[in-house]
A = this chain, B = another copy of it.
């Protein structure tokens, strides 16, 4: 008896060979799966495991320790929101620091701004940078821009050593439950972020899923608000991350993200962008009621 017979007359096992990536979420109570065409690359280093694979739905994907960091299909949503909100809120961003973000996507967005003279990317794991250079040209290509400097170092230590050095600091960290990423969510770290800013400087940080990790989100928001007089949560679509929307926090000593907003410059860049618009800049700070209440501790 052939397999064909076993599975019924219409079933052809040869057409049914599929590999799937599974990311368990929310304490193993749900999962997100992507069909996989090809496992392109894998390296297990001291810090974490890095994988690259091709999928029919999300294009090329990079995961760190089995968590989706970048998909070709939607990485621009995350990178545009993390980077352009602080960049256009600053009157004249010349020196930019990106902490984490070893894939290069945030660097790519920062370097779209013609005012930028230097953008420093500080990534703790050389494997991420090398993997991105080799396999993720859509995010990593900006690393070869002459204004880009790539440093392999722990972001917390780097920022502690660079007081009053940057106009914009962008925290593009990994999941806070991971060892390396966790260091980037502490009181001390956010305090040093403020010290790393030049006068008038602004910061943005990814602050995770709005819906299923509210305890983390409110903790991070409270810590950022302790370090910065101005701290405002904003959000946007991010389909391959848990819950499908993602939050970011804008912070500064005095700059309001809307008051000094350079709308004319944003309009001039509009043709290059796929998510961010002036309308989105104004709208993204409007929070759903449940999130307003959570941040207010109610």
A residues lining the B interface (CB < 8 Å): 20, 22, 26-35, 55-58, 74, 77, 210-212, 236-239, 243-245, 270, 273-277, 279-280, 282-290, 292
Contacts and interface: CB of A to CB of B under 8 A. Distances in A.
How many copies of this chain sit in the oligomeric assembly?
Answer: 2
Nearest to A292: B277
Q: Would you list the 3 A-B pairs with minimal beta carbon distance, nearest first?
A: A244-B244, A283-B286, A283-B283
Contacts of A282: 283, 286
B35 A30 contact: yes
A283 B238 CA distance: 17
Given A275-B289, A282-B283, 20 more contacts: A22-B33, A26-B57, A28-B35, A30-B34, A30-B35, A30-B55, A31-B31, A31-B33, A32-B33, A33-B33, A237-B244, A238-B244, A243-B244, A244-B245, A270-B289, A275-B288, A277-B288, A277-B292, A279-B287, A280-B287
Counting chain B CB atoms within 10 Å of each CB, which of A27, A236, A280 scores highest? A280
Contact of A211 (B35, B239, B280): B239
A241 to B, nearest CB: 8
Contact of A277 (B22, B211, B286): B286
A276 B212 CA distance: 18
A238 B238 CA distance: 12
Nearest to A31: B33
A243 B35 CA distance: 16
Contacts of A244: 237-239, 243-245
Contacts of A283: 282-286
A288 B287 CA distance: 17
Nearest to A56: B29
24 contacts: A26-B57, A29-B55, A29-B56, A30-B35, A30-B55, A77-B288, A210-B237, A211-B237, A237-B243, A239-B245, A244-B244, A245-B245, A273-B289, A274-B288, A274-B289, A275-B288, A276-B288, A277-B287, A277-B292, A279-B287, A280-B288, A282-B283, A283-B283, A283-B284
A58 B30 contact: yes
Contacts of A287: 277, 279-280
A57 B30 contact: yes
A211 B288 contact: no
A286 B276 CA distance: 10
Contacts of A289: 270, 273-277, 280
A87 to B, nearest CB: 16
The interface centre, meaning the residue of A34, A56, A243, A289 with most chain B CB atoms within 10 A of its CB, is: A289
A279 B289 CA distance: 9
A74 B288 CA distance: 12
Contact of A34 (B29, B212, B277): B29
